[in-house]
Amino acid sequence: MTAVQSTSSTTNKVLGHPLNAWYVAAWDHEVTRKPMSRRVANRPLALYRTEDGKAVALADACWHRLAPLSMGKTMGKDGIQCPYHGIVYNSAGRCVSMPAQETINPSATVPSFPVVERYRYVWVWLGDPTKADPDLVPDMHQMSSEEWAGDGETIHADCNYQLVLDNLMDLTHEEFVHSSSIGQEELSESDFEVTHDGSTVTVSRWMHNIDAPPFWLKNMRDKFPGFEGKVDRWQIITFQAPSTINIDVGVAKAGTGAPEGDRSQGVNGFVMNTITPETDRSCHYFWAFMRNYRLESQLITTQLRNGVHGVFGEDEEMLKAQQAAIDANPDYEFYNLNIDAGGMWVRRLIERMLEAEGRLVPTA
């Protein structure tokens, strides 16, 4: 496992990932009776479902000669067979059949990782299994609630997962990266407020009496046909350690009380993001856009998903270029701006988790 260098400014350019945490390995629909391979937190996993539909995550390397189990096939009630020499493991990772012998070597096991299926995702725990409490799965209830509708995708991002967290914790970048959809200059002109506790960080920003950018004007008109006029816009970003960020976003007709809590004259969405480190320089970025209006419209679901797909494509391009620039300039450091307060708290909480795991190596 990679040791992490700490600096007092908590601005590591390549931040390690805690292992005692739930990470999304896949969307629920991706995991089937046909095994698939996915690397999570530097560990290749074979994911499949048992006959009863239970999701299983085994290390994707046979005990015998490390052939990838994900290339094999499911067998019996809950087993998977290595494609190379036919060794069969059950969902606990125990060998249940060995070729050419009447007994089974008691040492023949592959690690089986704790799995929880929740909020349309399959979550895995790669750290100490005795600490794998399902109550620690981050709250993403909008993903599977009758009061919310929407859909999402996965981005395979060629950057350290922390760069995605930085990106989401400060939305000032929307003005520059997403100028044609959600960007507007009021973003960097408005004030924001940062709060935190032991495992969450919240960044709130309100923009009053502004023009709705194209993305939000379209959403307002879906709910209020023919809408014209000014809006109050909000972005309330909530980080849950180590890598989930839900963003409460929306606009309402200006002056109708949204900042005070009455959002009835507006449209509200939640951008659900959970980032799973793949390697030190790549991650699986699972996102969805959920809304609480016009729930019946599959058209709007598709339009929103496609719209966000376009927006996040712009982020992906930037993140990849940023990682390349980081790697090309190993002797240059990061510096911080006032707008990084949210992202800096995120880094500090993650570093505390790494420290608790004994994996944060302070610099001398």
Partner 1 sequence: MAATNVEVWQQATVIETQSIATDIQRIVLEPSAPKKAEPGSHVDLKVMIDGEQDKRSYSVVESSEDGKRLAISVMKAPQSRGGSLFMHTLKPGDTLEITQPLQNFPLRVGAERYILLAGGIGITAMINMARVLKNLKADYTFVYAGRNRAAMAYLPELQELHGDNLVVHVDDEGTSLKVDELVASADLETELYMCGPIRLMDVVRRAWTERELNLPDLRYETFGNSGWYDPEEFIVRIPRLGVEAKVGQGRSMLETLEDAGVDMMFDCRKGECGLCEVRILELDGAVDHRDVFYSERQQHAAAKMCCCVSRAVTSKTGAKSDADPHRGPAVVTIEVS
Per-residue x/- mask for partner 1, residues 9 to 28, rule CB under 8 A? Answer: ----------x---------
# binding residues, partner 1 (CB under 8 A): 29
- CB atoms inside a 10 Å sphere around CB 99: 10
Applying CB under 8 A, which part among 126-134, 182-190, 200-208, 220-228 lies near partner 1? 126-134
Q: Which of 3, 92, 295, 325 binds partner 1 (CB under 8 A)?
A: 92
Q: Which of 8, 107, 338, 363 binds partner 1 (CB under 8 A)?
A: 107
Q: Which of 24, 47, 57, 132 binds partner 1 (CB under 8 A)?
A: 132
Q: 3 vs 324, which CB is nearer to partner 1? A: 3
Find the shortest distance in angstroms from Cβ 352 to partner 1.
16
Q: 64 vs 305, which CB is nearer to partner 1? A: 64
Applying CB under 8 A, which part among 129-137, 148-156, 238-246, 253-261 lies near partner 1? 129-137
> In this structure, what token pair is assigned to residue 272?
């659900």
- Our CA dihedral for 181, 185, 191, 197, rounded to 10 degrees, sits at 30
94 binds partner 1 (CB under 8 A): yes
Element (H, E) at 304: helix 298-328
How far is the C-alpha of 15 from the C-alpha of 159, rounded, in Å? 11
Applying CB under 8 A, which part among 49-57, 121-129, 190-198, 287-295 lies near partner 1? 121-129
> Which alpha helices (DSSP H) does 146-297 contain, by range?
161-169, 174-177, 186-189, 214-223
Report how far apart, in Å, the C-alpha atoms of 233 and of each of 29, 187, 215, 256 are: 34, 10, 12, 12
Q: 101 vs 363, which CB is nearer to partner 1? A: 101
Q: Which of 83, 111, 255, 257 binds partner 1 (CB under 8 A)?
A: 111
Find the shortest distance in angstroms from Cβ 316 to partner 1.
30
90 binds partner 1 (CB under 8 A): yes
95 binds partner 1 (CB under 8 A): yes
Map residue 74 onto helix, strand or coil.
strand
Find the shortest distance in angstroms from Cβ 303 to partner 1.
42
Beta strands, E only, the chain: 4-6, 22-27, 36-40, 43-49, 55-59, 73-75, 79-81, 88-89, 95-97, 112-113, 115-118, 121-125, 149-157, 192-196, 200-211, 230-240, 244-253, 266-279, 282-291, 360-362
Indicate the DSSP class of residue 212.
Answer: P
How far is the C-alpha of 245 from the C-alpha of 140, rounded, in Å? 9
32 binds partner 1 (CB under 8 A): no
How far is the C-alpha of 108 from the C-alpha of 239, rounded, in Å? 40
Applying CB under 8 A, which part among 128-136, 168-176, 233-241, 258-266 lies near partner 1? 128-136
| Site residues, partner 1 (CB under 8 A) | 1, 19, 43, 59, 90, 92-96, 101-107, 109, 111-114, 126-130, 132, 358
